[in-house]
Chains A and B, each alone.
Chain A
């Protein structure tokens, strides 16, 4: 499965596409389970890039385990949480983080 991710133009914040908007956490990302869904997300990403909302737009591979989204690559897991050496930084440091 794939989800759509990018960095927000204004501040570089890592974001994921979720239900019509970009979210700051990965949890509610819209999942693409087939080629058509991937293409739909790609189109959304390209439009958002063209509209100068986000940069570095990518589809990434994920698994869903017990309802939670897990990126396959460590790189993407680090983007979703924050630096592994400092849990006081990044998404993992936010009050609502799991």
Chain B
């Protein structure tokens, strides 16, 4: 893991001192809300319905046990005993008092964490594949580059007041688990024929009210040019991105309105001025950052196969969990584990202080002290000996985190929605809970197979509904909640935006509607190997529309 150097420590501590002073002056009435609001947002403090909300950065979703324990401590001491892991691999606390925020930030700084650039029109937390460094299909670990981008973008003087927020995601695998094509810049780290590392560069993806899939503007950018090329993109955006209309200010609109060819030409022209200059990454610097992410020494643990064989015979629930939540590691004695924060009927992404402590203990004991936060709102133990899986499972079962539903219909992404969020128009959590309960049977879920269901409580799409295989968007219509269903979205290497299937459904109808969609899929699929998304792409919306709305047409 990356460790702060002296500069990082001073930088974060200086920011804590600065913001503490700003909070103190605000509470003393020396600065107005209008003056304070941008300052608090720069430090991750929002005002929500019930209280302030503090969003803490988890760079590229990587946490140590010590850091996770600190999050548990904050939940216990300053909040209400839980935290909410977000679709940007961050964590949010929903109830902190403004007067406690300086103390929280000081506690975070003590474990090399902060809340800087988790809001505002700047480059936000850089996200990455949650299996980075562990995945068997990876060209290289993307996190060193995410860290380089983090260092470059932190309080970058030129890019702190962009037209709008800016999100970068990095993956090191062909199979995209970081949803890079839904980001302002998506980077796919890969090797060329000569074995050199570089990036396919995607620009202009995003969700919100205008969902657009990113366009690839360069197939192979040699790694040393990462910062000069990103700077060129940001400069073009900063110059031409719209500032007159908040809803048209993201780079996706600029790319769309300019056209990919012309936009690429502008970026290349700007890059021509920057290329091979001071932003070129020296090999020694890349290596120095790389060294922080050196994989843990993984001792041979060949006893895993036998141990698992026996444990499978002993426990069906362990066996199901193994099939669903455990993925192949690059080292055959090891595996990566998804800890589902989607227990049946639970709030997607929420974890209690004691659960966080327990996961931190597990990571320390069995997983080389490393935990990841996935953008799908689960926790990951990236490096676990297969021989230890049963012990981990048993402990997860004790703390209520052993639900074997990774990638199944109850593994729902949901934003906080109207239960917390000041921007929301409808509730998300309760919809997720009801659907989760309806499909509680694991047997049924496994029969349905991979199905990514994503729910947003407003068009800002924090719940990624546009790219759900099934997406649900909550809106407010005539003072009531209404849920619009989209089908066929995906956020992988074949990213697509879902299509609205028809009129929306009320809160009491939406669970039935989703069940109808699922039953329709089960009826039309060629066989069990044809996943929901593949079936939808084969047949299109017609049978789903028919199933959802045909009765109405006849009645009318």
Which residues of A are in contact with B by a Cβ distance under 8 Å? 7, 9-14, 49, 51-52, 55-56, 72-75, 78-79, 82-86, 89-90
Contacts and interface: CB of A to CB of B under 8 A. Distances in A.
B97 A85 contact: no
B229 to A, nearest CB: 41
Interface in B459-492: 476, 479-481
B99 A10 contact: yes
B50 A52 contact: no
Interface in B1-42: 26-27, 29, 32-33
In the complex, the 7 A-B pairs of residues with the closest C-beta atoms, listed nearest first: A11-B97, A12-B51, A83-B419, A12-B52, A52-B29, A85-B429, A79-B49
B47 interface: yes
B80 A89 contact: yes
A64 B51 CA distance: 26
A85 B419 contact: yes
B418 A10 contact: no
A78 B29 contact: no
A14 B29 contact: no
A84 B26 contact: no
A90 B50 contact: yes
30 contacts: A7-B51, A9-B98, A10-B27, A11-B99, A12-B48, A12-B50, A12-B51, A12-B52, A14-B51, A51-B29, A52-B26, A52-B27, A52-B32, A52-B33, A55-B47, A72-B479, A74-B479, A74-B480, A78-B419, A79-B49, A79-B50, A82-B50, A83-B50, A84-B419, A84-B427, A85-B347, A85-B430, A85-B433, A89-B50, A90-B50
B521 interface: no
B131 interface: no
A56 B8 CA distance: 35
Given A9-B98, A12-B97, A52-B29, A74 B51 contact: no
Nearest to A75: B418
B334 interface: no
A73 B479 contact: yes
Contacts of B48: 12
Contacts of A52: 26-27, 29, 32-33
A10 B98 CA distance: 5
Contacts of B481: 74
A79 B48 CA distance: 9
B420 interface: yes
A36 B52 CA distance: 32
Contacts of A85: 347, 419, 427, 429-430, 433
A11 B27 CA distance: 10
A15 B51 CA distance: 10
Interface in B196-253: none
Contact of B49 (A9, A11, A72, A78): A78
Given A10-B99, A11-B99, A55-B33, A75 B47 contact: no
B418 A78 contact: yes
Contacts of B26: 9, 52
Nearest to A91: B50
A84 B49 contact: no
A73 B49 CA distance: 13
A85 to B, nearest CB: 5
Contacts of B47: 7, 12, 55-56
Contacts of A83: 50, 419-420, 429
A9 B32 CA distance: 11
A15 to B, nearest CB: 11
A52 B29 CA distance: 6
Contacts of A14: 49-51
Nearest to A83: B419
A64 B427 CA distance: 24
Contacts of B433: 85
B181 to A, nearest CB: 32
Contacts of B27: 9-10, 52
Given A9-B27, A10-B99, A75 B429 contact: no
Given A56-B47, A84-B427, 7 more contacts: A12-B47, A13-B51, A83-B420, A84-B419, A84-B429, A84-B430, A85-B419
Contacts of A78: 49, 418-419
A72 B96 CA distance: 28
Interface in B34-90: 47-52, 80
A80 to B, nearest CB: 10
Contacts of B479: 72-74
Contacts of A9: 26-27, 33, 98
Contacts of A73: 479
A64 B78 CA distance: 36
A86 B81 CA distance: 13
A13 B98 CA distance: 10
Nearest to B346: A85
Contacts of B429: 83-85
B49 A75 contact: yes
Contacts of A56: 47, 422
Interface string B426-470: 010110010000000000000000000000000000000000000
A49 B429 CA distance: 32
Interface string B264-288: 0000000000000000000000000
A51 B176 CA distance: 51
A16 to B, nearest CB: 13
A12 B422 CA distance: 12
